[in-house]
Amino acid sequence: MSDTRSDADLLALTAAGDRAAFEAFYRRHAAWLVLRLRHRCADEALVDDVVQETFLDLWRGGAARYRERGDVAGWLWRIGSRRLVDALRRHGSRDRLARLLGRFRGRDEPSAEDQVLYGVEHGDLAGALDRLSPELRAVVQATVLDGFSTAEAAVLLGIPPGTVKTRAMRARRQLRQELT
């Protein structure tokens, strides 16, 4: 039997210390978060650690930070994806990250997200991103680093989807010019 309470209700109860609400929230979202993060990182143990850290933070008081603005799954994804980036930075040397990128899901070519993560860690991409206008940088953050779709990014940023696409195109063009 599934819990019919809303995600926001489960988070509010979790913030108040309700273990059953936390467990229901975990059952509802943990598998989804694991799958989504594994599309960003081939190291299954690291992804599992990140998911556990994410939910442990919610249990220890992080659930109280949800302010009922936007989708709970999007909020949870932002927390998990940022934790993954932090974990990759913490745990990854250049060689380890290169190995992960090379074996990512059995592909010969790393994904765009993996290339960005590699560049943030080891290239001048961070400087190039800093030189983007705040509007362009926000779109890159939402669509590439956080992995939101154009529609999700549009809602998050409060702009039309067409504007997200245009800004993403301008950001890619500027980054390509600076990094080549």
- Using DSSP, state whether 80 is helix, strand or coil: helix
110 in a structural domain: no
pLDDT of 152-166, one tens digit each? 788 777 889 999 999
Give me the CATH number covering residue 15. Answer: 1.10.1740.10
Residue with the bigger pLDDT between 124 and 17: it is 17
CB 17 within 8 A of CB 75: no
DSSP conformation class of 101: H
* pLDDT at residue 51, as a whole number: 93
* pLDDT at residue 123, as a whole number: 54
User: Residues in the chain, how many?
Assistant: 180
Number of domains the chain contains: 1
pLDDT of 104-163, one tens digit each? 445 555 555 555 555 555 456 677 888 889 899 888 888 887 777 888 788 777 889 999
Q: Indicate the burial class of 122 (C-beta count within 10 angstroms; 0-12, 13-18, 19 or more).
A: middle
